[in-house]
Amino acid sequence: MLAFVPLLDATQSVALLGPTNTGKTHRAVERMLEHGSGMIGLPLRLLAREVYDRVSARVGEDRVALVTGEEKRVPRRPDYWVCTTEAMPLTQEVDFLAVDEVQLATHDERGHVFTDRLLHARGRVESWFMGSSAMRSLMERLVPAAKHQEHPRLSRLSFAGSSKLQKLPPRSAVVAFSVPELYQLAGRLRALRGGAAVVLGALSPRARNAQVAMFQAGEVDYLVATDAIGMGLNLDVSHVAFASLRKFDGHHARALSDPELSQIAGRAGRYLRDGSFGTLSPAELPHEVAERIEQHYFEPIKRVRYRNSALDFTSTDALLNALTAPPPASHLAPVASALDLSSLRALLADAEVAARARRGEPLELLWRVCEVPDFRHILFEVHVQLLRELYLALSEGPLRDDFMARQTRDFHDHHGDVDALLARTARLRTWAFVAHRAGWVKNAGHWREKLATLEDGLSDALHTGLVDSFVERRSRGRPAPKHKLQTAAPPEPDPRFDPHHPFARLLHLRAHVHEPVPEPDAPSTWEELVDAPHERFALNEAGVIHVGSLALARLSRGASLTQPEVRLLDLDDIPAGVRSQLQRRLLAFARDTTGRLLASLQSLRHSGRSPLRAIAYQLEQGLGSARRHALASTLSALAEDDRQVLNASVVEPGRLAVYVPELLEPDALSLRLTLVRAFEPTTKLPPVGRATFDPQHLSEQTWLALGYVVLGRRAFRLDLAERVAALFAEGAPEQKALACLSLPKREWPDASRTFKSALSTA
């Protein structure tokens, strides 16, 4: 066997290993946001959506892409990519790259993907790999240049022994490893304690978020989940109880390993709050296992799964040989029986498929079809039949509308029990995956949008079904299945008035004159509003975010002018669980509003030259304006190439200030005023747009953010001030230079001296 030489890192790599609740993912996200661009790979679609929500609430959705097998939200020029590990677009170069839960490299089916990322995925500047400390020795072999960091758990995790279901403390998560057992436990908790939220990997992000929001808001005190909660999902759980210590892994029932138990138990006690774990009787966890989980001490991982990723499509034999090539090192174990490879072999045994997929692009297409996951978890033969039908259709060209319509026609049906809705959702995920593969669907944009809408409908129906099945209606805080927005009721008719009176029609019109007029595309439920596109929201000059006539929130002071916070208004009928989701949504909208205002500075912000990035930063902090003297040293440090880039940009390096002329247009000035008002809520601000103001009580920095420069005893609008300064610099007479400022003539001498003094010190 040839010697295996790992990738030599030209950039900094970090291995952040340790127990759960040490803030590994949080630290990686924070580090990513310190870079101009980044990508993070996460093990679950649900976790990717959670991190996407967190990042987009910080920087806005215009700067963040979400990429999973079934869902892609890619804005025009994203800076940050949040992905499932398999879906990471590695051809996209970024400054920072991270892969979470790297111990999954041992997984029989998926492990080879994580190993491939460890060996080959790197950021231009920095790369982070997070996971269990049991990976330390292997990380030294797979990423030998990595600097190892380890942090202690932020809270104590203790073993609480075995307990009966009725004795579980509030804020407990019960973990089951089969759907029937999960349903049974949730049903018993409904009878004993009023109900439980349900989380399993088959839920869509929307349905999962609705269930978790119910639990987080205290509408139910218990959560029943599969081991999907073990992969970093952040939940307010105090105690984790294992209903079983065995699971079916797709091939056979087996005991959970100590690291698997630890990963799930570690969901208890988030941040600084202590947590506990135990079992539901009659299950018993051996004392020595519990002790290892408490101390996070496990045997080092010695081998990870590996599969050659350099595939050869010159023939079917060449492809199979590439996929089954032996690993190049002893610490790399071959993939025993992956579904995609088994599907490939089964399809190549089909005469019609084999005749079309002999070599080249047809063979590569067959392999890509075999990579379609089995979301339905049904018989292997049934899955292969689906892949066969898909391949034969794709071999004739991109899928047409009539083909997609046949496959998706019953996704409109929201009837049936929870199992029926889950099965329908799983089938929908298959076709969402297909629609997001490049070139597979003729009218891809339409079908991606349609499938997303259909998934939302099924998700709402599924959430309603779960609530109806597992939450007692009499329990305190029980939410309605769908939370409808309240609208004013029409006025009652006046009983004293004869409807046959000659003025009856006039009274009828008067009684209805204040009735709310239905607005086009108005949302009917709060859940619909949470997932509405940003185009549905608007921001008025008072800093109020609204949808049509419905006011939702107001901008408030944040960390800076460009990062306002959002305070929800008194929306009495909004459930507590949905409130936090709406808060995040509107915060992302506020970030995007600011980002779009300053979008023209993006090219400078992403420049490889630090002086240009410094100029962009100063301009962003002033909402498009900065004093010339504040940037003097930076401007003097510009090389000739940098000056050419700056001159070709939207930035105007004036004599008095550096500014963006387009941000002095009326709409831009109005938004700047709104942002300043949110940052300085107690300060009385003038209606901007006029040529000049008395500076009054406002600071010079506030005037700059409003698009004005303070000279002497006046604040002048930047573009006009620069025009006057240019005329004085050219030796124009006072009358000609000051004519555009609309100043009384008695103030001309003072203004003339002020401008000439400013020019002499600029």
Of 264-268, 432-436, 492-496, 540-544, the poorest mean pLDDT is in: 492-496
User: Is 238 in contact with 276 (CB distance < 8 Å)?
Assistant: yes
Q: Mean pLDDT, to the nearest integer, of 360-388? A: 95
If you average pLDDT over every residue of the chain, what do you get? 87
pLDDT at 507 over 80: no
Does domain 12-149 fall into CATH 3.65.10.10?
no
Strand ranges in 85-189 using DSSP code E only, listed in sequence order? 96-99, 126-131, 147-149, 157-163, 172-175
Q: Mean pLDDT, to the nearest integer, of 270-274? A: 76
Q: Mean pLDDT, to the nearest integer, of 246-263? A: 82
Of 104-108, 556-560, 752-756, the poorest mean pLDDT is in: 752-756
The pLDDT confidence band at residue 491, using thresholds 50, 70 and 90, is: very low
Radius of gyration of the chain measured on its C-alpha atoms: 31
pLDDT at 478 over 50: no
Angle at 28 between CA 27 and CA 34, to 5 degrees: 90
The pLDDT confidence band at residue 629, using thresholds 50, 70 and 90, is: confident
Tens digits of residue pLDDT in 397-433 = 999 999 999 999 999 999 999 999 999 999 999 999 9
The total number of residues written for the chain in this structure: 762
Of 108-112, 206-210, 284-288, the poorest mean pLDDT is in: 206-210
Tell me which of 347 and 523 has the higher pLDDT.
347
Please choose, from the candidates 306, 232, 281, 273, the residue with its C-alpha nearest in 3D space to the C-alpha of residue 51. 232
State residue 87's pLDDT score: 95
Q: Which two tokens stand for residue 34?
A: 């310190």
Question: What's the order of all strands across the beta sheet hosting 538-539?
Answer: 538-539, 544-547, 550-556, 565-568
pLDDT at 305 over 60: yes
The pLDDT confidence band at residue 250, using thresholds 50, 70 and 90, is: low
Please give the single-letter amino acid code of residue 408: T
Of 240-249, 359-368, 468-477, 684-693, the poorest mean pLDDT is in: 468-477
The pLDDT confidence band at residue 474, using thresholds 50, 70 and 90, is: low
CA distances to 183, 248, 254, 427, 753 from 177, rounded to whole Å, are 11, 7, 11, 22, 81
337 CB burial (10 A radius; 0-12, 13-18, 19+) = exposed
Rounded CA separation 693/715 (Å): 5
State residue 229's pLDDT score: 78
State residue 204's pLDDT score: 86
Q: Is 22 helix (H, G, I), strand (E, B) or coil?
A: coil
Could you tell me if residue 569 is left (phi over 0), alpha (psi between -120 and 50 degrees) or otherwise beta?
Answer: beta
State residue 213's pLDDT score: 84
The pLDDT confidence band at residue 78, using thresholds 50, 70 and 90, is: very high
CATH superfamily of 157-295: P-loop containing nucleotide triphosphate hydrolases (3.40.50.300)
**Are both 12-149 and 157-295 of the same fold?**
yes
Tell me which of 24 and 478 has the higher pLDDT.
24
Strand ranges in 69-212 using DSSP code E only, listed in sequence order? 72-73, 80-84, 96-99, 126-131, 147-149, 157-163, 172-175, 197-199
The pLDDT confidence band at residue 483, using thresholds 50, 70 and 90, is: low
Rounded CA separation 174/186 (Å): 9
Tens digits of residue pLDDT in 671-699 = 999 999 999 988 888 888 888 888 888 89
pLDDT at 503 over 50: no
Q: Is 223 helix (H, G, I), strand (E, B) or coil?
A: strand
Q: Which two tokens stand for residue 133?
A: 């400390």
Tens digits of residue pLDDT in 149-173 = 888 877 888 999 999 999 999 999 9
The pLDDT confidence band at residue 762, using thresholds 50, 70 and 90, is: low
State residue 519's pLDDT score: 54
Tens digits of residue pLDDT in 91-133 = 999 999 999 999 999 998 899 999 999 999 999 999 999 999 8
| Domain range annotation of the chain | 12-149, 157-295, 307-373, 398-477, 599-761
Tens digits of residue pLDDT in 372-383 = 999 988 899 999
User: Is 35 in contact with 126 (CB distance < 8 Å)?
Assistant: yes
Rounded CA separation 646/640 (Å): 10
Provide the Cα torsion 40, 44, 46, 47; round to 10°: -40
Q: Mean pLDDT, to the nearest integer, of 16-28? A: 89
Percent of the chain with pLDDT over 90: 56
User: Is 19 in contact with 156 (CB distance < 8 Å)?
Assistant: no
DSSP string, 277-310: EEEETT----HHHHHHHHHT--PPP--EEE----
> DSSP class of residue 334?
E
Helices (H), 201-246: 205-216
User: Is 90 in contact with 49 (CB distance < 8 Å)?
Assistant: no
Tens digits of residue pLDDT in 725-739 = 888 888 888 888 787
State residue 695's pLDDT score: 85
Q: Phi and psi at residue 491, in whole multiples of 5°?
A: -65, 145
The pLDDT confidence band at residue 212, using thresholds 50, 70 and 90, is: confident
CA distances to 624, 625, 667, 683, 713 from 698, rounded to whole Å, are 18, 16, 22, 8, 12
Place of tokens 């259709």: 393
State residue 606's pLDDT score: 81
The pLDDT confidence band at residue 658, using thresholds 50, 70 and 90, is: very high
pLDDT at 701 over 60: yes
Distance, C-alpha 202 to centroid of its chain: 19
Tens digits of residue pLDDT in 710-726 = 888 888 889 888 888 88
Own/partner pairs for 284-287, CB < 8 Å, 24+ apart? 284/162, 285/159, 285/162, 285/242, 285/245, 285/261
pLDDT at 466 over 70: yes
Rounded CA separation 210/366 (Å): 37
Of 63-67, 301-305, 488-492, the poorest mean pLDDT is in: 488-492
User: Is 171 in contact with 239 (CB distance < 8 Å)?
Assistant: yes
Q: Mean pLDDT, to the nearest integer, of 185-196? A: 93
